[in-house]
Amino acid sequence: MLLVCALRAPEFEHGTGELLPNLLPIMRRVSIQYPPQSLESTVEEVTARFPGCAVLQIQPEMLVKFLPGKPREPAETTMKETPQEYIERITSYVEGQQPLKVQAATPRKLERLIKGVSLSKLRKRPAPDKWSVVEILAHLADTEIVGGFRIRMILGAPGTPIAAFNQDAWVTSGHYGKRDPRKSLGQFQVSREANLALLKSITPEQWKHHGIHSERGVETVEHIVRMFAGHDVNHIRQIERILAPQK
Ligand code: NI
């Protein structure tokens, strides 16, 4: 029999939790067949969607810990990309390409892009609410740590929950604007090399292992690697636009 979960507590919205060890085997089965947008579903809604299934209602006390995610976006920003639109846009940048090759080429591309560019220019935001090159490089460096951590978590415990993070909050909390762009690039390069070396060593079966992202649902190692390649291209283009001669 199929078992589904109803996660009704409001604090479950956009967050991830770790279940008590005795509940883990259940959660493994359940979370895979349960889309993240249903985390706030009531038992009634779940029963209506999955007729004939047993419903397990998860309560906060069934968790070892709870990692809150991003709060619900206010109404005026609902025009922003959905997670699905983001995935489609990002992966479209590397359509027909080998993600590992794209990823391997990125540090050199970034190096060439910022070569000889003054620090003041790299620190200048193109608009008050748009990241500077220095901030983008710090973002890439930190995101590479996140990606490497996620892949290691998945390899060590397939089906594991993956916590989303607020990238804009990290710009402020991590003082990205003050980072040394060359050091960020160095950090990115070292992390990237380590992650690529790991990926070259894993088996075809391990490429299919997945985690459950708190906002985007099931993500295999293969998918994450493709997303990261597209993410590279996205930010390379962004830096090119910022540094392009003004017309
Ligand atoms: Ni990004």
Instruction: Report how far apart, in Å, the C-alpha atoms of 108 and of each of 105, 112, 134, 225 are.
Output: 6, 6, 16, 18
Find the 63 Cα to ligand 1 centroid distance in Å.
Answer: 31
Cα 139 to ligand 1 centroid, rounded to whole Å = 7
Residue with tokens 């075809």: 204
The alpha carbon of 232 and the centre of ligand 1 are apart by a number of angstroms equal to 8
CA angle, 179 then 184 then 187, to 5° = 140
For tokens 């709060």, name the residue: 71
Q: How far is the CA of 134 from the centre of ligand 1 (A)?
A: 13
Model confidence pTM above 0.75: no
> How many Cα atoms are found within 13 Å in the side-chain-facing hemisphere of 165?
16
According to DSSP, the β-strands at 63-68 and 15-19 are antiparallel
Residue 236 CA, ligand 1 centroid: distance in Å: 10
CA of 97 to the centre of ligand 1 (A): 19
pLDDT at res. 12 = 46
Q: How far is the CA of 201 from the centre of ligand 1 (A)?
A: 26
> How many angstroms is it from 17 CA to the middle of ligand 1?
24
Measure 79 CA to ligand 1 centroid, in angstroms: 19
Q: Give the Å distance between the CA of 54 and the centre of ligand 1.
A: 40
Residue type, 180: D
- For residue 51, report the distance from its CA to the centre of ligand 1, in Å: 40
Tell me, in angstroms, the distance from the centre of ligand 1 to residue 227's CA. 10
Tokens 């029963």 locate to 47
Residue 136: phi and psi, rounded to 5, are -65, -40
Distance of CA 116 from the midpoint of ligand 1 (Å): 24
129 Cα to the center of ligand 1, angstroms: 15
Instruction: Give the model's pLDDT for residue 215.
Output: 87
Task: List the chain pLDDT tens, one digit each, 247 residues.
Answer: 344 455 544 444 444 555 556 655 554 444 323 333 334 455 565 566 555 555 666 655 565 555 555 444 444 344 578 888 999 999 999 999 999 999 999 999 999 999 999 999 999 999 999 999 999 999 999 999 999 999 999 999 999 999 999 999 999 999 999 999 999 999 999 999 999 999 999 999 999 999 999 988 999 999 999 999 999 999 999 999 999 987 6
| Domain 83-243 sits in CATH 3.30.1480.10 | no
Looking at the DSSP assignment, which residues form a beta bridge with residue 4? 55
Tell me, in angstroms, the distance from the centre of ligand 1 to residue 231's CA.
6
According to DSSP, the β-strands at 161-162 and 217-220 are: unpaired
CA 168 vs. chain centroid, Å, equals 13
> 229 CA to middle of ligand 1, Å?
11
Domain with CATH 1.20.120.450 in the chain: 83-243
| Model pLDDT, residue 39 | 43
**Helix pair angle (83-92, 221-243), 10° resolution:** 70
Which pLDDT score, from 0 to 100, does residue 49 have? 58
